[in-house]
Amino acid sequence: MQLLNYISTNTQISSKQIQNTIELLNEDCTIPFISRYRKEKTGNLDEIEIGLIVKFKEQFEAIEKRKLAILKSLEEQNVLSSELKIKIENTTDLTTLEDIYLPFKKKRKTKAETARKNGLEPLAKIIMSQNANDLQYIASKYLNNEITSKEKAIEGAKHIIAEWINERTDIRNIIRNQLEKFSNITTKVIASKKDDEKALKFKDYFNWSEKLNRIPSHRLLAILRAEKEGFIRVKIEIDDELILQKIDDKILRSNNECAEEIQLAINDAYKRLLLPSLTTETLKNSKEKADDNAISVFAKNLEQLLLSSPLGEKQILALDPGFRTGCKVMCLNKQGNLLHNDTVYPHPPQNKHSEARFTIEHLVEKYNIEAISIGNGTASRETEKFVKSCSFKRDIEIFIVNEAGASIYSASKIARDEFPDKDVTVRGAISIGRRLADPLAELVKIDAKSIGVGQYQYDVDQIKLKKALDNVVINCVNKVGVNINTASASLLSYVSGIGEKLAENIVKYREENGAFSSRNEIKKVPRLGGKAFEQSAGFLRIKNAKNVLDDSSVHPERYNLVKQIAKDVNKDINELIGNTKVLKEINLQKYVTDSYGLPTLQDIIEELEKPGLDPRQKAKPFSFDENLKTIDDLQIGMEINGIVNNITNFGCFVDIGIKESGLIHISNLSDTFVSDVNEYVQLNQQIRVKVLEIDLVRKRIQLKLIK
């Protein structure tokens, strides 16, 4: 019940939906499978809502695990009272839990601990009572070999009092509240580093001050990176006097000499113990929020990138441009297999333009090339111009493809396994061609952090980041579906219920036995049991299968239902496919049972209308301004074409065909207020922009979106 209440409080999802979803998760069902094929049980929750249930379930379990560790520690110390146990068991917040445990936590040697060993705790209690008079006389009773004066006795007692104050949850919460609402984050440049070339990108934050609760996530991460790299010092500042007054109001009850000593202990506790600890905690919490924000932006970008428009199954010629080393040329068939590789040298210093042109024209004809994919790296624009100067006997579409991460892939184990006899340059060029045909299938082979669509990805919590990005990949792969007869092991591993080992087994089975002819045959793959089949089958596609439903998202467990529907309308299943008129007239209520309801039936009808439909739009060719080669060619006021290549909370970066990407600040996306950049632009969107500012020294370009 505690778990359900915890998740419900944090998500506003009903307890019944949470309970049913947890039951499915405990049965090893995956999020894609649950959201697609168990809608009736979850109350039609989508993958985001199910993901939230998973997130808060894990948080709750982490808190429960910490409770057990704390309770065990308290039992071992013989300090666990029934009241304390109940208090711990009823706590659902990790910070509160740690505050409760703080007085009992094993500490390194402290001033308070030394004072206790010297017998000064009774004196501290007397002072805290605020009733005693003639404190000097009372202190004289606590002198010994270690405590040789009344002043030392009172000083030691104050150290104990300071520790008590530090351990009070109410006081810690007062300071937390003040820091959260009113603290500033300030920076100061380290004088010896301010002229460092690497420090220039952080110049804006050399001497900076801003409300901590208002600082945008990207700015906080930039400041913390600058601190980590040794260019600035960061400090959290707050009105100390206001907080000290609030603590005084909580503790001081009299006006005698005891109160004077307690006042000194309060100041000591605040400056030595509370403030350092809680400013660190506050900054850590702000960093965690900034991490979550940055990860969310990265995840959105990654999703858009993975769902980028595919060209589809085409004969493709891929070019990895270069000057001195030449342009690597790859000819790929419709399945992305390598047919031929070559190198041409149309650019300086070789300038073998005629030979290169002859080679390209010959390869296009010989391999029935339908499209040309050019990487967007060095010599990209020159290579595009060269290709457009070639003469082809038919229309050939030419695309510029983002090659971010291609070098990572080319040196990876996946690439070595795919092309063991090819070097890294060949593998990288093949990846550029395959990205045009199917970005999703190719990009899943690369560590998402290396794809270049996030900011500060190496500064955020790496475990959280990996988890979030893996979830994005899983959701995208299962949303699109996978052709089991052409998919790589990398792509298959992200299919619901499959994983790396089963993906390898599928590929091995395919190599040994040929293409799968039906979904039922998938069960023959070694170690792929009933659960894995249940979870994966609906997301695996078999082209030209005898049963047309094998190339759809209709799950095999619902094939009999489709047969019954077809029989009732006097149609063969093949006749039902795409027959919108008949499908729209079917009374779905007639087929509702305890096992499935209208959500599942509506999904089935929608799928029968367009089985196996790829939710992604088809790729479109794009051309940059041919007069732009470098930042020096730009002029303020110029209107040019661009492609959105990264999105942040403060705007988006745009590839305008030169080395440097331009920035459209959020304020330049529209003449009205913009709260969400994604409402105005999408990753890989082709847009037109106006040049507002050019900073040649820092190589920065400010742009404005033209509607």
State the pLDDT at residue 508.
97
Ramachandran assignment for 648, one of left (phi > 0), alpha (psi -120 to 50 degrees), beta (any other): beta
State the pLDDT at residue 193.
86
> What single-letter DSSP state applies at residue 8?
H
Q: Quote the Cα angle for 354-356-360, to 5°.
A: 120
State the pLDDT at residue 615.
86
Domains of the chain: 2-104 (1.10.10.650), 311-437 (3.30.420.140), 508-609 (1.10.150.310), 631-706 (2.40.50.140)
Task: Identify which of 453, 456, 378, 473 has the alpha carbon closest to the alpha carbon of residue 643.
Answer: 453
What's the distance, CA 510 to chain centroid?
33
State the pLDDT at residue 394.
92
| The token pair that represents 604 in the structure block | 């089935």
d(CA 421, CA 553): 37
Quick check: helix, strand or coil at residue 237? strand
DSSP string for residues in 282-317 = HHHHHHHHHHHHHHHHHHHHHHHHHTPPP--S--EE
Roughly what angle, to the nearest 10 degrees, separates helices 150-166 and 257-268?
60
- pTM exceeding 0.75: yes
State the pLDDT at residue 539.
97
Q: How confident is the chain (707 residues) per 10-residue block, as mean pLDDT? A: 92 95 97 97 95 96 96 95 95 94 88 95 96 92 94 96 97 97 96 84 91 94 94 96 96 93 97 97 97 92 92 96 96 95 97 96 97 93 94 94 89 92 94 95 89 82 92 96 95 97 97 96 97 98 94 96 95 92 93 90 94 85 86 95 91 92 95 91 93 93 95
Task: Identify which of 654, 247, 302, 363 has the alpha carbon closest to the alpha carbon of residue 494.
Answer: 302
Strands (E), 360-435: 371-375, 397-401
Quick check: helix, strand or coil at residue 692? strand
DSSP string for residues in 44-98 = S--HHHHHHHHHHHHHHHHHHHHHHHHHHHHHHTT---HHHHHHHHT---HHHHH
